[in-house]
Structure formats: C-alpha cells, structure tokens
Structure 1
Amino acid sequence: MASTGPDPLFGLRNNFYIGAYQAAINNSDVPNLSADDAVERDTLVYRSYIALGSYQLVINEIDDSAATPLQAVKLLALYLSSPDNKQETVITSLHELLGDSAIGNNPILRLIAGIVFMHEQDYNEALKHTNAGGTMELHALNVQIFIKMHRSDYAEKQLRIMQQADEDHTLTQLANAWLNLAVGGSKIQEAYLIFQDFSEKNQMTSPILNGKAVCCMHMGNFDEAETLLLEALNKDTKDSETLANLVVCSLHLGKPYTRYLSQLKISHPDHMLVGRAASAEEIFDRAVQTVA
C-alpha cells in the first residue's frame, strides 16, 4: 500500500528487525493508527514477545476472534513452545489457513508458514509460501532460506529485488550482510562493516553483536569475537546463537567451553550444535568401548 506520509510504525519495525525486542514492546503505544496498522503493530509486539521466549503470554492473549495475522503469530508461539506432537497440530492448522482462498495469501500468514517450515528444515515447503514475495520481510526470509539451502545465487537474486525496492532498508542491509557471510572470502569484511554501521546508528543488540562476532571469527580475530559475544551474553544469557558462538570461539581460543554448551543444552536442547555434540560423544563412547 502506498504511503502518503511518515510511516507511524517505522521505529517499531526497525527495533524488531535489529533485535531490540524489549524496546519494540516498550515503544509500541503509537497513537491514531488505522485498523490495518494496529494489527501490524500487534503482530510486531507479539513476535517480539516470542523472540524473548514469552510464548505463553502470546498464546493467552490472542483469542480465536483475532485477525488472521495474529492467528498466524499465535501458531508460531504454539509451535515454538510445544513438544513434537503439538507441533504437528500447528502445521496442520497452518495448512488449513493457507488453503483458505479468502486469507491464504495474507503476507504475515505466509511469512509465519515460511518461518515454521524453515525450522522444520523443509525448505521447499517454506518457499511454496514465501517465494512470491510481496513484502521486504518475505524477501529477507527467502534470502535466509536460500542460504540454508546453500544456494547463494538465488539468495543474491532476492537481495537484488530488495535493493531495487529500498537499498537503505534495514532488512536489505541485514540480508546483504547475511549473504556476504555465506559467500565468505573478501565479503566477510563487507559484512563486518554493515554490522559495524548498525552498531553505530542503533542500540547494541544480541543479533548485531553476534553478526560482528561471526565476522571476526571468520577473519581469525577470536579475541575480539569473544569480547562481543560476552557483551551479547550480558544482554541475554539464554540466547542460543550467543551460546553456540561462544562454544566455537572458546574452542579456537583454547578456553573452557563446557559451561556454554551446558547452558545451550538446557535452554535450547534442539539446537544443531547440541545435536552435533551428542553425536560426537556417542561416536567417542563407541570407539572407547571397541578399544576396551
């Protein structure tokens, strides 16, 4: 929808995109919003609560009469909070909403579907709902999905679409940094400069600090990476990416890492690094028993 004036949700969106979730929540009382903007405001606020791990608050507050975007956000909260058997129910509900001709093309619904199926590592199913794009968030999610599929060529096409729409958009800059990290080589320095620019213009957040830290690790600057990651840990002691990156960084520095791995196992037992560590331990145990 074309805008005829300043975007009343710009600050809220920007806080959400850079990972300043509490700031997004605290500054969400925007006056005189249209009905559509009010729904979008609420989706951003509830997604911020989800990012902070407050799944039950979202589940409790969004009732069955809420608008489609909010119903989708509630399904995301249910999915992330639920054991595997309930996740199947969420996926079934998502398919039902997506199959409804009246609401199935809703951008937030398609976005949430893409996020859920990306979590499921079902990238083809995710792209069925996101690939048509339509919003900057959908294009940014496509970049993430293609990176996970190791298709940086397709990710670059999505980035070009975003750059043509708004080169200075926060999500365009973030997507550019993600792609640079995936490509590697000389692009790492470019990614670092993007995250550095964010850190100078915005409040420091865990995603921005982690972005800079990963760039530092790629460039072999593990001491600087550790400093950035410890700052991120001070902001959120349970953030999965901070803990995982601290495990990797500590290993390279020859420092103890088991406490970070233990924290990751407790707070995020399904994290990829936890699974890899468990597999390595099983292989080691089998090898010891064979020798014995």
Structure 2
Amino acid sequence: NVALGKAKIVIDSITENSPLPVRAVKLLARYTVGENAEGIVQEIMAMTEDMTGGQDATVQLMAATILSREGNVVDAMKCCHTGLSLELNAMMVNLLCMIDRPELAEKQAKMMQAVDDDSTVVQLACAWANVASGGKKIQDASYIYQELGDKYMWTPKLHNGLAVCFMLMGAYDDAERELLEAIGKDAKNAETLANLATCAAHLGKSSSRFINAIKALGVPSEAL
C-alpha cells in the first residue's frame, strides 16, 4: 500500500499494539507523507537496536529504506549487512548503485541469483546492477523489465525501469511511450514525472509542467 501511494491507509490501520515489524512499516508510511523526518529516523533506529528488531528483516528493510532516502547510505548499508532476506540483499544492490559501485552491485546480485534465480526480487536487483554497469548490460536490463511486465503486470515502477534503459540507449521516443503508460497508471508518481522531465528535455520539449507537478505533490522527493 505504501508503494501504491496509499500510505494513509497504512497509517490509520496500524496501532501501537501492532507487532514491531508492522509498526516499522507504519514509520515508512509516515515518512512518505512528509511527517517529521528527524523524529521518524530516531524511532526506526531505536527499533533496529531493539533485540527483536535487530534480527527482523522487515524492521531492517524499513530502516534501510528511510535512511537511504535521507541520504544516510552508510547506516542504511549497516541494516542490509544482516542479509536476513532477499529484499535486504536487493536493497544493498540499490545502495551500491547509489554510491557508484556497479562492480559490487553486480557481485551482490550474482550471489542472490545463486540463492533463487527465479525470484522477482532477484531479477529486479540484476536489472539495477546491469543499468549501473552500463554498456551492453543496459540491454539485458531492458529485457528483464520487459519480461517481468509481460509475465506479471505492468506497474509504474516497471515502466520507469524500462524507460530509463531506453533513455540510456538514446531511444527517447520509446522512453516517452513507457513513461506515458506509467503516468496513466499513477498521475502523482514523482519518479515518473522526473523521468518525463528528463525525457522532454532530450526531445526538445518543455519540462516545466512535470517539475511543477513534482513540487505540487508537497512531499519529500529525491526526484527534484
């Protein structure tokens, strides 16, 4: 629900009596809607230091997600080092891409493939690593996004992933097509709007309306 932009539903449905991992998800939801970031970071860090939270994959993943959005990659990586789940390993791949270490991201993705090559999470991690590595591997990443979209269901995230591949390969018309599909599914997706702004600039079109749309969302966004 948080990823689908329904954070308020999550916030309203989770109480202080809910299990620790569920309360950690609520913190991410609160962060997503723009609540006090500093206070939320303190709360999630306290959860990770708790005996139970320190060994819970969901708590560690929520912490890594919040910390990465705050730009605290080092502490986010510490949460991922537990390797308690494929999702945490995938987050590590994402973080390694963020700090421009594609060779390490690729190594991490290959380790995940050895565990479960058919997992959707593993496939996505491989796509991220391929995009970060660049060159011919961008084409490989595009195949992964295409396969996942055709096999399951096309989501804004998958359209954006494929659009980024197209942009990196210089196919901006194809990228724009994917992004228009994405915006049709979620008109308030900041990632889609940011990519549309980038794509528009390369196609010689105005990007101001997309940038203004991101600002109008009124929530913290690395898209800007």
- SS of 1:50's partner is coil
Aligned twin of 1:217: 167
Q: How does 1:268-287 map to 2 (within 5 A)?
A: 270-274=220-224
Aligned to 1:54: 6
1:71 match: 23
Q: How does 1:34-45 map to 2 (within 5 A)?
A: none
Tell me how far 1:90 sits from its aligned partner: 1.3
Larger radius of gyration: 1
Residues 7-46 of structure 1: per-residue CA shift (max 9 Å, x gap): xxxxxxxxxxxxxxxxxxxxxxxxxxxxxxxxxxxxxxxx
Say what the alpha-carbon RMSD is for the aligned residues.
1.4
Query: Are 1:192 and 1:212, in contact at CA under 8 Å, matched by a contact in 2?
Result: yes
CA shift digits 1:121-140 (9 cap, x unpaired):
11111111111212110000
| Partners of 1:147 and 1:268 in 2: CA distance | 27
Listed one character per residue, the Cα deviations across residues 217-256 of structure 1 (whole Å, up to 9, x for unaligned) are 1111111111111111111001111111110111111112
Matched letter for residue 118 of structure 2? D
Measured in 1, the distance between the counterparts of 2:117 and 2:25 equals 28
Q: Would the aligned equivalents of 2:193 and 2:211 in 1 still touch at CA under 8 Å?
A: yes
The 2-side partners of 1:191 and 1:102 are apart by: 37
Q: CA separation in 1, counterparts of 2:96 and 2:132?
A: 10
The residue that corresponds to 1:110 in the other structure is 60
8 Å contact 1:240–1:268 — kept in the other structure? no
Q: What TM-score, normalized to structure 2?
A: 0.95
1:203 aligned partner, one-letter code: M
Q: Which amino acid aligns with 2:91?
A: L
User: Does 2:123 align with 1:176?
Assistant: no
In 1, distance between residues paired with 2:22 and 2:182?
A: 30
One of 81, 96, 107 as aligned partner of 2:33: 81
Q: 1:103 to 1:178 in 2, by over 3 A?
A: closer
Quickly say closer, same or farther: Cα 1:194–1:78, change in 2 above 3 A.
same
SS in 1 for 2:100: coil
Residue 273 of structure 1: CA displacement? 4.7
1:247 matches 2:219: no
Q: Which amino acid aligns with 1:58?
A: V
What do the CA deviations read for 1:239-285 (whole angstroms, capped 9, x no partner)? Answer: 111111110111111112211111111115643453xxxxxxxxxxx
Gaps of 5+ in 1: 1-48, 275-292
* Paired amino acid for 1:178: W
TM-score by length of 1: 0.73
Percentage identity across aligned positions? Answer: 38
Q: Which residue of 1 aligns with 2:48?
A: 98
1:187 aligns with 2:150: no
Aligned equivalent of 2:106, options 133, 142, 156: 156
Unpaired runs of at least 5, structure 2: none
CA contact (8 A) 1:210 1:229 kept: yes
Residue type of the alignment partner of 1:172: V
Of 54, 68, 77, the match for 1:127: 77
- AA partner of residue 123 (structure 2): Q
Higher relative contact order (CA 8 A, sep 6+): 2
